[in-house]
Amino acid sequence: MVTSPTVSGYQSDHELPPSDADGNQLVVFMHGWRMSQWDYDDFSGTMFKRLYWAGYQGRFASLRWPTPSSDNYTLLPQALADTFSKFTFNDSEHIAFDSATGTMQYLEWLRSRFHDYSINVAAHSQGNLVMMETLKQMLAAGATNVLDNYVMMQAAVPAQCYDINVANYYPFLADEGMKPTPNTYFGYPGPINQALRPGRTIINFFNPLDYAVGTAWEVNQSLNKPDTGYFYLPGDGAYYFSRLVTNPHELMPFVARSRSQGAAVLSGISGAIGGGEVNLNTSFGFAGLPYDHSGEFNRNVQQVQGFYSTLLEKILP
């Protein structure tokens, strides 16, 4: 693994000595929602080992961003803490957007250390919101020589963020008739693929049966947009009680509703996603159980050898 300085509250990991066989390659793992410290360590270690078993000899880094988890409720019994953390998705999305600046600093620090390496990111679930905003800020800052390829794994992000030609999802349009919201997600990050190094790209690993983004995420879009205390008046604006809300980092988590399904369940997304896609259902048997939203970590290694071999094939230039 690769250690880092303390950047915006991010936590360092231990560093392994360099290997002559690392091929000047570095893979960065970005976790998703509701990862406790134990979960983060477990998922990071699992990915590191499985990449190695798939033949990867390069360096590996994992970045922990402050998503809410059971660790936020240390005074409660574990089962109750887990239950409370399940109601934090919108709060975590807000944190994900605000974590992008520190993430950009961390990735730039990696590039300063490993200037002649390919640095590639694999982000899971809500971690793709962190990466989307990070790439947006990199593009705005002209930091276009930091990252190589980026794989979105089961991304809990509206598909229309990346591709404005993705079809609207009828249930969400019906919801708009009852509770209108601003269409802030639509094309929000712009051409973030241009934040990658020349010739590099974004690849979508999706599962059309994904439970977390295909069911739970859609229920949240319908029922919790706007969230408690927020409302939207077309032609006037969005409010939190009497306070006007204009920051998109607050509008999207708490007020705006997606008009499309999530990227995790859709094929054929283009726009900023120029590197194609991998269907996790037809390729590796990922199904519709909640377990399989994180199937690459939860399944036995024998079941996901193909996943990690394909990840390496797609992510390494």
pLDDT, tens digit, 9 for 90 and up, residues 232-246:
999 999 999 999 999
For the chain, how many structural domains are there in total?
Answer: 1
Nearest to 206 by CA among 276, 272, 260: 276
Q: Is residue 301 assigned to a domain?
A: yes
Residue 302 lies in a domain: yes
Q: Which pTM does this prediction carry?
A: 0.94
Residue 113 lies in a domain: yes
- Percentage with pLDDT > 70 across the chain: 94
Task: List the one residue out of 200, 152, 199, 191 whose CA is nearest residue 271.
Answer: 191
The reply to whether 218 falls in a domain is yes
The whole-number pLDDT of residue 84 equals: 80
Domain ranges, residue 284: 25-224+261-315
Task: Establish if 89 belongs to a structural domain.
Answer: yes
Integer angstrom CA distances of residue 259 from 126, 226, 256, 292: 18, 14, 9, 25
pLDDT in tens, 261-305: 999 999 999 999 999 999 999 999 999 999 999 999 999 999 999
Residues written for the chain: 317
239 occurs within a structural domain = no
pLDDT tens per residue across span 108-161: 999 999 999 999 999 999 999 999 999 999 999 999 999 999 999 999 999 999
Instruction: Report phi then psi at 23, rounded to 5.
Output: 65, 20
The average pLDDT across 43-63 equals 98
Confidence (pLDDT) at 74: 87
